[in-house]
Amino acid sequence: MKTKNQRRILITGATSGIGYQAALKLIEDDQKLVILCRNSKRVDSTIKSLRSENIPLSKIERLAKFPIVDLSDLNSIEEFTAKELSNSCRIDTLILNAGLQYTGSKFIRRSKQGIELTFAVNHLSHYYLVQRLIPLLRKSEFPRVVITSSEVHNPNSPGGKVGKKADLSDLAGLRKSLDFEMIDGFTPFDADKAYKDSKLCNTLFSKELSRRFLINNFNIPVLCWAPGLVIPTTKEGFFRYSRKYNELGQILFAFIARDLLHITESPQNAGKILFDLATLDSYQGEKFLYLSNNIKTLGQMILKEKNISKEANNSTKAENLWNLSGEIIQKFVTINPF
């Protein structure tokens, strides 16, 4: 299947792992990219990595921009989006791919605004980016939003069953105060559960975003997907933070899952899936779609449509999460939720 004409694609989480592999393929395909980078060091390392893949510097400079945006800081996001809106350039695909996990840590980490870091980066930053950038999506003839979630949002999935399960309860943490530890408001801090909960937020957010697009007559598909268990052979990628807290355990887990059992996906293959979701015509007619990259046979994965968890399908909870997220953001920056 061919892709449409050149698209302008904004992506988070593209300096390593799945996002980087997708960005590499998008540049090779002559797509225009806006790659959000946390700091200048990440800009330099990303350009260096792309050049090592035999991408000429002239092509990188022609196709890609690397604005510095700290997703843990709402003010940084506001500053960036204000510039984007003033430039008034359309966005054809908005890829919300950044994902932070610091499983193994006993201590809570917080964003610049004092919000638990996993929730702030994985959910709140993406919610805010969408809210601000909708006018630019609507400038596109064929816009779409792609959101990276995970099967661990579902307590009945293999990964979701391990450890404490994703469960937002009545979102009491978000209702109480900004210094909440867990979204449910009562569970003691658990970094692994915080990650699972954030992926549940991503899925609830995807459903509610699609619903709001529909009731506002915005023809914008929302594609939510789970890439499967992706463990790179390098020290970069998704597990780079949690590895700090249990390096030996991570090495052993990687050896068993990736090298012995062959139940993982490579960053390259997952990046190709993300490339397809961002560009292929076949996805344009969808309104909401949840796709999961699951094991077909040992060493082989298959992407297919799948049901989301019972809690992720709770429309009341999705709307409440949407509204509470907006209320949190409004304490710090300007937002006009639609």
The number of CA neighbours under 13 Å toward the Cβ of 19 is 28
Burial class (CB in 10 A: 0-12, 13-18, 19+), 5: exposed
Topology (CATH level 3) of domain 8-330: Rossmann fold (3.40.50)
Instruction: Quote helix, strand, coil % in the chain, to nearest 5.
Output: 45, 15, 40
What DSSP string describes 231-295?
--SSS-SGGGTGGGT-HHHHHHHHIIIIIIS---B-HHHHHHHHHHHHHBGGGTT-SEEEEEEEE
Residue pLDDT, tens place only, 82-118 = 999 999 999 999 999 999 999 888 899 999 999 999 9
**Whole-angstrom Cα distance, residue 21 to residue 56?**
16
Closest CA to 287 of 335, 338, 217, 240: 217
Give the pLDDT of residue 251: 56
For residue 112, the 8-state DSSP code is: T
- Quote the pTM value: 0.91
What does the block give as tokens for 244? Answer: 């700090």
Give the pLDDT of residue 5: 80
Where along the chain do its domains lie? 8-330
pLDDT category, 204, cuts 50, 70, 90? very high
Give the pLDDT of residue 246: 55
Residue pLDDT, tens place only, 131-143 = 999 999 999 999 9
* Cβ–Cβ under 8 Å, residues 50 and 60: yes
pLDDT category, 335, cuts 50, 70, 90? confident
**Whole-angstrom Cα distance, residue 210 to residue 262?**
35
Average pLDDT estimate for 255-259: 49
* Cβ–Cβ under 8 Å, residues 95 and 12: yes
For residue 46, the 8-state DSSP code is: H
Residue pLDDT, tens place only, 262-307 = 455 788 989 999 999 999 999 998 799 999 998 767 667 789 999 9
CA distances from 270 to 94, 168, 252, 303, 307 (A): 17, 28, 22, 10, 20
Residue pLDDT, tens place only, 37-81 = 999 999 999 999 999 999 999 999 999 999 999 999 999 999 999
- Residue 277 amino acid letter: L
Paired with 147 in beta bridges are: 96, 224
What does the block give as tokens for 222? Answer: 């929302």
